[in-house]
Chains A and B, each alone.
Chain A
Amino acid sequence: MRRELQRLKLDENHFQLFGVPARFDLDTVALEERYRELQREVHPDRFAAASQAEQRVSMQLATRVNEAYQTLRSPLLRAGYLLALSGVDPEFETNTAMPTEFLADQMEKRDVLTAAAAAGDWERMIALSSDLRLEQDALLARIARQLEAGDWAQAAATLRRLKFLEKFGEDIAAAEEDMES
């Protein structure tokens, strides 16, 4: 245990920490496996009887491992992290320029959502969700290619769209919860 605590460095990047290549395409099963291995070594439950200093380090490392895992297992966060490692700011806050047809399409979908929610139309809600998933999958495939090719600017643009879609997914979920209650 002690050896493991020393070996893990706080300044390693998430990929290094998990010992996986810094690529968008990732073996998620291996990632989960590695996560469990790491937590088995560093989790505070392993150090409940240890010194306070060790408990502190254990909490820091376990926190670090959790953060890395949450980032790597989400395609969206993983893509953003890869961009950050390459020194590219995805400009979520500042760069809101989107192709007109994308925005028009999104506006239309939002109108459909509002109407479906008001009418309690489950079929249309489900259709919206599955459309969204298809669109997300297509963009994820695209961003995988862009990141692989080192095309950071294009990848950042794709990521901004994905972020947009994620927000729409949250809105659909909120509307569904409203309809349920």
Chain B
Amino acid sequence: MALLQISEPGQSPAPHERRLAVGIDLGTTNSLVATVRNGIAVVLNDHEGQGLLPSVVRYFRDGRTAVGRDAEREQARDPKNIIASVKRFMGRGLKDVAHAENSPYDFVDSPGMVQLRTAAGVKSPVEVSAEILKSLRERAEESLFGSEGGHLSGAVITVPAYFDDAQRQATKDAGQLAGLNVLRLLNEPTAAAIAYGLDNAAEGVYAVYDLGGGTFDISILKLSRGVFEVMATSGDAALGGDDFDQRLFCWVVERAKLAPLSAEDTRLLLVKSRAAKEFLTAHGEARISAALSSGEAVDVTVTQREFQEMTQPLVAKTLGPTRKALRDARLDVSEVKGVVMVGGATRMPHVQRAVGELFRQAPLNNLDPDKVVALGAAIQANVLAGNRGEGEDWLLLDVIPLSLGVETMGGLVERVIPRNSTLPVARGQEFTTFRDGQTAMSIHVVQGERELVSDCRSLARFELHAIPPMAAGAARIRVTFQVDADGLLAVSAREATTGAQAAIAVKPSYGLSDAQITQMLKDSLDHARDDVQLRVLKEQQVEGERMLAAVESALREDADLVSAEEQGAVRAELDALSKTLSCTDHRTIRSAIERVNRATEAFAGRRMDRAVRRALAGRKVESL
């Protein structure tokens, strides 16, 4: 297994004419750094010969930090100042954090991302992640340049494929904060596919099932003559090995009939639960014993069967997105040649079993699930840095995981870029003004699969000013969404007739709730029918309101063109229409609109005649 050769520190560094770049797997539980040396991807070890760096950061009162195993060991003793699984908080608000009540941290609810109060002050998840990245950067520089010192030319950092724009942006910010030149954000399953595909000269359709510490991704890729083309991706940005620990922890608390726990004891039992979970992968039962600070003693035994039963719902939660990805790729399981397993949590036998049953084949486990992502990232980093060797003419085509859209009248989402579009992608959409003389317009960008804005993740709002005053519907505002190869979005808008322009880079200010993002795709399936009904109703309501405003305005402008009798008839229909607007049956509204249309047909014709005559006379046709 050539790809998994591990280098020792102190080995002679690579020749200096090459640009040295690294791949970093910034994981929920563990992080790694890898590079390509003599054409082979290797994980870079620390002084103790360890490749995995626990993603744990400790803050001291004097501002010093400790990262990794040292910090991890002390967790139960200093839980508020030792931050683990910070990836779960990236790009998220406090309300979005799952199990916040079971978490020992001192959260600070700030506008934007949640923050954590430590002995060294309030820290954002971006800063905590940057400490981990900095530690890996130093390890890499020491390993690659030795005592001479030197600089990395760049790094590829991996992210869960299902990360949204806010989470990706936060990750990139952390990389920059750590002094890294971020060459690319690479999706974790795609990184694994590169490592697997190049190592096995694989051709055909492969699925990558990636269950990490805190996130779940499923990607379907087509590997064909050096092109890695992602066909579809799906997942759950808040489901991972941590949740299995949490489930077992709750079981232990219940079984041992424990009173509410201190932060220290919570951390202690979570650590013990994780160790038991790992032990159960190869053993029939595990014992969990601990002496709590409260004086209570815990001593329970959990069997593999009990553990699997209590966590089976979590395993089942991965299968929905998996089926969804297959459907999006328009594939049957029989067309999938192999299923590559990634992430430490895929070691659990019941996960292996469930995946094997769904795909009707034994999953592929011949790569180290902890390291394959970092190795793939290193291979990509090497190529991006400009060290494309002979025969390295491969190309990666990845996709956007969640649809992007803008809010339109009535709280509906106008989808602009559908999920699973190949990156980079740009799409333009035209909008118009709703009222006469309207000079400003607010554009609300959302991400998600549902039809209503309130069910999607809000990414940003921006305003377009200085629209020249025109009749309602005359302005043509073109909004362009550009998503780059990192999956990051930029939006610009322009009024077509005057060129008035507004542009923003979407730096999202608040996070999706975990439940929200988990729910988004699922809901779009469960409620597909409700959504359509609701959407049709909303559309009719908007149409009805527009109709009322338009006819009222016409009656004011050209009152002399209608007889009193005709006006009475029109008013009666308008009244009827305005009464139907609050009803919940779209057909009632539609037929009221129809009646207004019929009642105003002749009037509209006369108005048109007058406008044409006015135009011929060289006058402005402003009320056409």
Query: Is B truly associated with A?
Result: yes
Q: Which residues of A contact B (CB under 8 A)?
A: 36, 39-40, 43-45, 48-49, 59, 62-63, 66-67, 69-70, 173-175, 177-178, 180-181
Q: Is the CB of A43 within 8 A of B395?
A: yes
Q: Which residues of B contact A36 (CB under 8 A)?
A: 225, 227, 395
State whether the Cβ of B422 lies closer than 8 Å to any Cβ in chain A.
Answer: yes
* 7 more A-B residue pairs beyond the given contacts A49-B384, A67-B425, with a C-beta to C-beta distance below 8 A: A36-B225, A39-B227, A40-B395, A45-B380, A48-B384, A49-B386, A181-B526
Partner of A62, one of B19, B380, B424: B424
Who on chain B is nearest to A41 by CB?
B395
Residues of A within 8 A of B385 (CB): 48-49
Interface hits, B409-434 → A, CB 8 Å: 421-426
Whether the pair B426, A180 counts as a contact (CB closer than 8 A) is no
Inter-chain contact A45/B424, CB cutoff 8 Å: no
Interface of A is mostly: helix
In the assembled complex, the CB of B441 is this many whole angstroms from the nearest CB of chain A, namely 21
A178 and B529 contact, Cβ closer than 8 Å, known pairs A45-B384, A45-B396, A49-B385: yes
> A77 to nearest B CB, angstroms?
13
Point out the residue from A43, A67, A177 that lies within 8 Å of B426, measured CB to CB. Answer: A67
Contact A66 B323 (CB under 8 A): no
Q: How far is the CB of B323 from chain A (nearest CB, A)?
A: 7
Residues in chain A near residue B284, CB distance under 8 A: none
On chain A, the residues within 8 Å of B484 by CB distance are: 44, 59
- Contacts A39-B395, A44-B485: A63 and B426 contacting too (C-beta < 8 A)? yes
Contact between A178 and B525, CB atoms less than 8 A apart: yes
CB-based nearest B residue for A62: B424
On chain B, the residues within 8 Å of A62 by CB distance are: 424, 485
Which of A45, A66, A174 has a CB less than 8 Å from the CB of B528? A174
Which A residue sits closest to B381, measured CB to CB? Answer: A48
- Residue B172 at the chain A interface, CB threshold 8 Å: no
30 contacts between A and B (CB under 8 A): A36-B225, A36-B395, A39-B227, A43-B395, A44-B484, A45-B485, A48-B154, A48-B385, A49-B19, A49-B385, A59-B424, A59-B485, A62-B424, A62-B485, A63-B425, A63-B482, A66-B422, A66-B423, A69-B422, A70-B421, A173-B327, A174-B532, A175-B529, A177-B525, A177-B528, A178-B526, A178-B529, A181-B320, A181-B525, A181-B526
CA distance A181 to B319 in the complex (A): 11
B424 & A63 in contact (Cβ 8 Å cutoff)? yes
- From 38 to 87 in chain B, residues with beta carbon under 8 angstroms from any chain A beta carbon are none
Chain B residues closer than 8 Å to A173, beta-carbon distance: 327
Q: Whole-angstrom distance between the alpha carbons of A67 and B427 in the complex?
A: 9
Interface residues of chain B, those whose CB is within 8 Å of chain A, are: 19, 153-154, 183-184, 225, 227, 320, 323, 327, 380, 383-386, 393, 395-397, 421-426, 482, 484-485, 525-526, 528-529, 532
Q: Chain A residues near B380 (CB, 8 Å)? A: 45
Q: How far is the CA of A125 from the CA of B423 in the complex (A)?
A: 34
Please, which residue of chain B has its CB at the minimum distance from the CB of A114? Answer: B529
Q: How far is the CA of A175 from the CA of B529 in the complex (A)?
A: 8
Bound-state Cα–Cα, A39 to B393, Å: 12
Closest 5 CB pairs of A and B: A48-B384, A49-B386, A174-B528, A44-B485, A177-B525
Within the complex, what minimum Cβ distance (angstroms) separates A173 from chain B?
Answer: 8
Expressed in whole angstroms, the Cα–Cα distance for A55 and B42 within the complex equals: 29
Q: Which chain A residues border B485 with CB–CB below 8 Å?
A: 43-45, 59, 62
Output the least CB separation between B203 and chain A (Å).
Answer: 14
- The answer to whether A48 touches B395 (Cβ under 8 A) is no
Known A40-B395, A178-B529; judge A45-B425 contact (CB<8 A): no
Task: Write out the residue numbers on chain B whose beta carbons fall within 8 Å of the beta carbon of A43.
Answer: 395, 397, 485
CA gap between A69 and B395 in the complex, in Å: 16
User: Which residues does chain B contribute within 8 Å of A177, judged by CB atoms?
Assistant: 327, 525, 528
Name the one of A44, A49, A69, A181 contacting B424, with C-beta atoms under 8 angstroms.
Answer: A44
Q: A49 vs B382: C-alpha distance in the bound complex, in angstroms?
A: 11
- Cα distance, A59 to B489, chains bound together (Å): 13
- Closest chain-A Cβ to B338's Cβ sits at a distance in Å of 22
Please measure, in the bound complex, the distance between the C-alpha atom of A102 and the C-alpha atom of B384, giving whole angstroms: 54
User: In whole angstroms, what is the CA distance A59 to B490 when docked?
Assistant: 13
- Neighbouring B residues of A174 by C-beta, 8 Å: 528-529, 532
Return the chain B residue nearest A173 by Cβ. Answer: B327
CA distance A63 to B386 in the complex (A): 22
Q: Which A residues touch B424, using CB under 8 A?
A: 44, 59, 62-63, 66
Kindly state the separation between the CA atoms of A177 and B396 in the bound complex, as whole angstroms: 30
Instruction: Say how far B522's CB is from chain A's closest CB, in angstroms.
Output: 8
By CB atoms of chain A within 10 A, which of B154, B395, B424, B484 has the most?
B424
A residues within 8 A CB of B327? 173, 177
A-chain residues with CB within 8 Å of residue B529 when the two chains form the complex:
174-175, 178
Chain B residues with Cβ below 8 Å from A178 are: 525-526, 528-529
Q: Give A90 Cβ to nearest chain B Cβ, in Å.
A: 16
Docked complex Cα distance between A45 and B225 (Å): 17
**Smallest beta-carbon distance A42→chain B, Å:** 10
Task: Give bound CA distance, A180 to B324, whole Å.
Answer: 11
Contacts of B421 in A (CB 8 A): 66, 70
Residues of B within 8 A of A63 (CB): 424-426, 482
Min distance, Cβ B332 to any Cβ of chain A, angstroms? 13
Most chain B CB within 10 A, of A39, A59, A63, A66, is at A63
Which chain B residues border A44 with CB–CB below 8 Å? 424, 484-485
Residues of B close to A48: CB separation below 8 A: 154, 183-184, 384-386
Chain B residues with CB under 8 Å of A39's CB are: 227, 395, 397
Q: Which residues of B contact A181 (CB under 8 A)?
A: 320, 525-526
For A50, the closest partner residue in chain B by CB is: B386
B323 touching A180 by the CB < 8 A rule? yes
What is the CA–CA distance of A169 and B508 in the complex, to the nearest angstrom? 35
CA A180 – CA B425 in complex, angstroms?
Answer: 32
> Is A66 a contact of B425 with CB atoms below 8 Å?
yes
In whole angstroms, what is the CA distance A48 to B484 when docked?
A: 12
A117 (CB) vs chain B CBs: closest residue: B529
Chain A residue contacts of B225, Cβ below 8 A? 36
Write the nearest CB–CB distance from B351 to chain A, whole angstroms.
Answer: 21
Question: A95 to B426, alpha carbons, bound, how many Å?
Answer: 28
In Å, the complex CA distance between A75 and B425 comes to 20
A48 CB to nearest chain B CB (Å): 4
Residue of A nearest to B387 (CB): A49
Complex interface: chain A residues within 8 A of B396 (CB) = 45
A47 and B526 CA atoms in complex are apart in Å by 42
Closest chain A CB from B503 CB (angstroms)? 14
> Which chain A positions have C-beta within 8 A of B386?
48-49
Residues from chain A with a CB closer than 8 A to the CB of B423 are 66
